[in-house]
Amino acid sequence: MKKPSRREKKPEVLLQGNEAVVEGALRAGCRFFAGYPITPATEISEVLSVKLPRVDGTFIQMEDEIASLGAVIGASLAGVKSMTATSGPGFSLMQENLGLAIIAEVPCVIVDVMRGGPSTGLPTSPSQSDVMQARWGTHGDHPIIVLSASTVRECYDMTIKAFNFSEKFRNPVILLIDEVVAHMREKMVLSDQEEVEIFDRVKPTVPPEWYIPYEDTPRGVPAMANFGEGYRYHVTGLTHDVRGFPTSRPDEIGPFIDRLHRKISQHFSEIQMAEYDQTDDAEITVVAYGSVARSAKRAVREAREKGIKVGLLKLMTLWPFMRSAVEKVLQTSKVLIVPEMNMGQVSREVKRVSLGMAKVSTLNKVDGTIITPPEILNRIVEVS
């Protein structure tokens, strides 16, 4: 066989997780970024400040994270795919405008490179402590999509997914990354030739006088007109009727809030992503996400070598929580081990959906260090 020449070689690059987020965002069509410096997410801002102007995009450093998300939502309403990136403290500041993006159904992507908390906490150490903040951080009942990544390649793929979901469902999408994944460098193939599915928001096809901006549709997602394209309509953070105008009528609010939730819940199978590793005959399943899933993968392999029937369920969509995936592993498993770098944010959900059908063993670490394969292996041996 002929040795491949340099030219034929795949375009391999050595990238940091944060840099892969940038590449994913650009590939997805992101052309606007507003952010505020914060460790450990700053590289995303820095690299985009270099790359966005080259593709006629816009990078702006705002006065805080509140302003950053405000600008992102404004740019998205004007028709440009937009994102911001932050860490726990900045994400806390974004919760106010996150709610506005949800109720006004404005697509946008927020990358949260997690650090330990509360407060300033552990700025340079890994953590997974924003799982619940991502779900319930903004007030009021609301739908949200939260994705996670455990490799540099997944940082790229999940950023693209995040943009696609946000455009498709007109909802903000949050990508949670552990600090170690964001700062780790791995080799990946980065090619413009590679086929990637890109989804753009559905625009109205009716003339402006027929346009109903918050109309219910079979998908639950109304067509979205961009500012300046002839469809003058009202966008508000107040509960609104199908025309976008404020309402306090129960017969209009009820169906509206229902639709907001339904547009996500009727597409669970499309949104919810997971990987199953040796779970077919597993009597024990490790449920993990982010960097911990990597440690878990190795622990499962080593436990299998010892003859223990154990598998790994790697969650890639954290919210809406994957009841179906847990139910699937419950068909064979009597013990679920949930290792995570927080005090038990996902294990609560695993317990909730497993309805007592399995023992849920929690393995929590909040000291700023990663959960290692031996720690998970020890637990597997203990419960086997």
232 binds other proteins (CB under 8 A): yes
Candidate ranges 93-101, 120-128, 322-330, 376-384; the one touching other proteins (CB under 8 A): 93-101
Q: Which is nearer to other proteins, 107 or 290 (CB)?
A: 107
CA-to-CA distance for 282 and 365, rounded, in angstroms?
Answer: 25
Among residues 29, 237, 255, 368, the one that binds other proteins under rule CB under 8 A: 237
**Binding map of other proteins across residues 318-347, x = CB under 8 A, - = no contact:** ------------------------------
Hey, how many other C-beta atoms are within 10 angstroms of the C-beta on 3? 5
96 binds other proteins (CB under 8 A): yes
202 CB-contact burial (10 Å; exposed 0-12 / middle 13-18 / buried 19+): middle
Q: Are 154 and 24 in contact, with CB atoms under 8 Å apart?
A: no
238 binds other proteins (CB under 8 A): yes
Measure the CA angle with vertex 19, ends 287 and 167; round to 5°: 70
CB 90, min distance to other proteins, A: 14
77 binds other proteins (CB under 8 A): yes
- End-to-end alpha carbon distance in the chain: 48
89 binds other proteins (CB under 8 A): no
How many residues form the binding site for other proteins (CB under 8 A)?
47
CA-to-CA distance for 288 and 305, rounded, in angstroms?
Answer: 20
Q: Which is nearer to other proteins, 52 or 176 (CB)?
A: 52
CB 147, min distance to other proteins, A: 23
Q: Are 303 and 380 in contact, with CB atoms under 8 Å apart?
A: yes
Q: Which is nearer to other proteins, 238 or 343 (CB)?
A: 238
Among residues 29, 46, 74, 255, the one that binds other proteins under rule CB under 8 A: 74
The b/e string for 25-42 (b: 16+ C-beta within 10 A; e otherwise) is bbbbbbbbbbbbebebbb
Cα-based distances in Å from 295 to 14, 195, 374: 21, 30, 8
**Binding map of other proteins across residues 240-279, x = CB under 8 A, - = no contact:** ---x-xx---------------------------------
By three-state DSSP, how is residue 166 classified? helix
**Binding map of other proteins across residues 54-73, x = CB under 8 A, - = no contact:** x-x-x-x-xxx-xxxxxxxx
CA-to-CA distance for 127 and 87, rounded, in angstroms?
Answer: 11
Q: Could you list the residues that contact other proteins (CB under 8 A)?
A: 31-32, 34, 50-51, 53-54, 56, 58, 60, 62-64, 66-80, 82, 96-97, 100, 226-230, 232-238, 243, 245-246
